Chain A
Amino acid sequence: MSAGAAVRVRRAVDGVRWYLREVTGESRWEAYLARCERDGVEPMTRREYERHRTDLREHNPQSRCC
Chain B
Amino acid sequence: MSTTTEVSPQPGRPTPSSPRPGARSVVLWSAVALVGAVCWAVLALSRGEDVSALWMLFAALCSYAIAYRFYARFIARRVLEVDDTRATPAERLDNGVDFEVTDRRVLFGHHFAAIAGAGPLVGPVLAAQMGYLPGTIWIIVGVILAGAVQDMVVLFFSVRRDGKSLGQMVREEIGVVGGIAALIAVFAIMIIILAVLALVVVNALAESPWGVFSIGLTIPIALFMGFYLRYLRPGRVLEVTAIGVVLLLLAIVAGGWVDGSALADDLTLSKETLVICLVVYGFVASVLPVWMLLTPRDYLSTFMKVGVIALLAVGLVIAAPTIQAEAVTSFATDGDGPVFAGKVFPFVFITIACGALSGFHALISSGTTPKLLAKESQVRMIGYGGMLMESFVAISALIAAVVIDQGLYYSMNAPAGATGGTVESAAEFVASLGFTITPDQLAAAAAAVEEESLISRTGGAPTLAFGLSQVFSEAFGGGLQAFWYHFAIMFEALFILTAVDAGTRVGRFMLQDTVGNVWKRFGDTSWTVGTWIASAVVVGAWGSMLYVGVTDPLGGINQLFPLFGIANQLLAAIALTLCVTLLIKHGKLRWAWVPGIPLAWDLIVTMTASWQKVFSDNPAIGYFAQADRYREARDAGDVLAPATDASQMDQVVFNSTLNGVLQAAFALLVLVVVANAVVIWVRAARAGGLPTTEVPHTPSRVVAPADFFATAEEKEAMRAWEESHGAETVGGRR
Contacts from A to B (Cβ < 8 Å): 15, 18-26, 28-29, 31, 34-35, 46-47, 49-51, 54, 56-66
Contacts and interface: CB of A to CB of B under 8 A. Distances in A.
Contact of A63 (B97, B98, B299, B364): B364
Chain A contact surface mostly: helix
Nearest to B564: A66
Given A61-B502, A65-B114, A24 B241 contact: yes
Chain B contact surface mostly: helix
B502 A29 contact: no
Given A26-B236, A54-B290, A59-B525, 10 more contacts: A24-B237, A26-B238, A50-B229, A50-B234, A63-B506, A65-B116, A65-B119, A65-B354, A66-B118, A66-B354
B733 A18 contact: yes
Contacts of B360: 63, 65-66
A34 to B, nearest CB: 8
A59 B115 CA distance: 20
A8 to B, nearest CB: 16
A63 B325 CA distance: 35
A41 to B, nearest CB: 13
B364 A65 contact: yes
B234 A66 contact: no
Given A29-B235, A51-B234, A66 B106 contact: no
A65 B238 contact: no
B289 interface: yes
B506 to A, nearest CB: 5
A54 B298 CA distance: 13
29 contacts: A15-B733, A18-B733, A20-B238, A22-B103, A24-B237, A28-B235, A34-B728, A46-B235, A49-B234, A50-B235, A54-B229, A54-B289, A56-B97, A57-B295, A58-B290, A61-B290, A61-B502, A62-B368, A62-B502, A63-B114, A63-B360, A64-B113, A64-B114, A64-B495, A64-B503, A65-B114, A65-B117, A66-B119, A66-B568
A21 B295 CA distance: 16
Contacts of A22: 103, 106
Contacts, number: 104
Given A50-B235, A64-B298, A23 B1 contact: no
A59 B290 CA distance: 9
A63 B115 CA distance: 9
Interface residues of B, number: 54
Interface of B: 1-2, 97-98, 103, 105-106, 109-110, 113-119, 193, 197, 229-230, 234-238, 241, 289-291, 295, 298-299, 353-354, 358, 360-361, 363-364, 368, 495, 498-499, 501-503, 505-506, 509, 525-526, 568, 728, 733
Contacts of A24: 237-238, 241, 299
A60 B234 contact: no
Contacts of B353: 66
A50 B226 CA distance: 12
A64 B234 contact: no
Contacts of B501: 64
Contacts of B193: 66
A61 B295 CA distance: 10
Contacts of A26: 235-238
Contacts of A21: 238
Of B98, B106, B118, B298, most A-chain CB atoms within 10 Å: B106
